[in-house]
Amino acid sequence: MQYVAEERKGNVTTVTEFILLGLPNHQELEVPLFFIYLVFYIVTVMGNILIILITMDPALHTPMYFFLRVLSFLEIGYISVTVPRMLVNFLSKDRTISYTGCAAQMFFLLFLGISECFLLASMAYDRYAAICHPLRYHLIMNKRVCLALTVVSWFGGNVLSLIQTIWVFTLPFCGSNQINYFFCDIPPLIKLACTDTSLYELQLFTITMLCNFTPFCLILVSYVVIISTILKMASAEGRQKAFSTCSSHLIVVTLYYGSSCLIYLRPKSMTSLESNKVLALVYTTFTPILNPVIYSLRNKEVKGALWRLFGVPITKMAIGAFLHKSLLPNPPSLFSCAD
């Protein structure tokens, strides 16, 4: 692999492009991983596109499904920023990425990830309003509020990711240009900087706390209040379904926030790039593929919209629902606690 740099001021060199190493010590795994992640990518994109189409059903024009549609759009972009490039690198000997291309990949990765963090908090607030203030729900979560929460999520993601990207790419890269990673991300890039990065690590810690810990705390507080409200429900079956679906939501949120915090909050001296690679694959690949299942495919309203989308007659829907209810345990909906 070619090292590309420009000579400046004597023997000092400046990196003009990077090399994404991927799995330099396990090249025999690259072809199997190509097919595995190709399937993951196709399933994730098609699943989230299907969710977008389903939630455009007139019966699902509610704040909950509006946020779900926005989330699916973010997931498509999030996985598309990294996985296609990974697939090419798995089969290609030329794994170089330009300086500008690396910066762009990092910006969009951070932008979509941070926006999703804020959007998940908005979704938790929507559930809080639906369960704890049902009589005023339509006043609290009107169209203007939903749009405002989405715009704030996107604006916050844009500003904070721009700050992070500028900070990283103003560091001097005057040594190796080989990134021991699958894509351009903050931890592997700052390891290539030929300067003290302790101040930047402090700034990274601060912004990560703002982007991850603050929304996560808001989600936890929302669910504490939600669970306390659920406990006051008279129906035991309703409480069981609500607890089941809310716990599934919290598992996905914990997986997403936990993996990103482990990558960005650990000190540089305690960070292992090999472990970060595994965590990065989790939050960039596995979480997007789980979201359609966890958030919607087990939801009765979404199932009905799915049948209508493909033009299945109502009689067939009724028969299918009857057989499913009679022969199989009824899977709880994530948002059944709001119904």
**Residue 302: CATH number of its domain:** 1.20.1070.10
Question: Do residues 130 and 137 touch, judged by C-beta distance below 8 A?
Answer: yes
- Give CA 142 to chain center in angstroms: 25
Domain range spanning residue 189? 5-338
**Please, are residues 89 and 95 in contact by the beta-carbon 8 Å criterion?**
yes
Structural contact between residues 276 and 187, judged by C-beta atoms closer than 8 angstroms: yes
What are the CA-CA distances from residue 83 to residues 48, 104, 236, 282 (Å)?
Answer: 15, 15, 44, 12
Rounded mean pLDDT, 310-323: 48
Band (289; pLDDT cuts 50, 70, 90): confident
Which of these, 208, 162, 164, lies nearest to 190 by C-alpha position? 164
Q: Residue 317: which pLDDT band, with cuts at 50, 70 and 90?
A: very low
Q: Which residues contact 97 (CB under 8 A, 6 or more apart)?
A: 17, 18, 19, 20, 85, 105, 184
pLDDT confidence of residue 108:
94
127-128-132 Cα angle (round to 5): 120
- pLDDT band with cut points at 50, 70 and 90 for residue 298: low
- The structural domain count of the chain equals 1
* Dihedral sign, Cα of residue 4, residue 6, residue 9, residue 14: negative
Distance CA 14, CA 210 (A): 32
Q: Are 12 and 58 in contact (CB under 8 A)?
A: no
Tell me the pairing of strands 17-20 and 178-179.
Answer: parallel
Q: How many CB atoms lie within 10 A of CB 56?
A: 13
Burial class (CB in 10 A: 0-12, 13-18, 19+), 58: exposed
Q: Which of 140, 79, 89 is nearest to 112 (CA)?
A: 79
Angle between helices 236-264 and 99-132 (to 10 degrees): 160
Q: Are 292 and 48 in contact (CB under 8 A)?
A: yes
CA distance 13 to 24: 25
Q: How far apart are CA 105 and CA 85, in angstroms?
A: 10
pTM above 0.85, yes or no: no
Q: Which of 107-111, 221-225, 250-254 has the highest mean pLDDT?
A: 107-111
pLDDT at 170: 85
Q: What is the pLDDT of residue 222?
A: 87
pLDDT digits (tens, 9 = 90+) for 50-106: 888 888 877 777 888 888 889 889 989 999 998 998 888 888 878 888 888 989 999
Residue 296's alpha-carbon distances to 22, 51, 57, 224, 286, in angstroms, are 33, 8, 14, 22, 16
pLDDT the model gives residue 309: 67
Supply the DSSP string of 179-217, one letter for each residue: E-SSS--HHHHHTT-SS--HHHHHHHHHHHIIIIIHHHH
Helix, strand, or coil (residue 5): strand
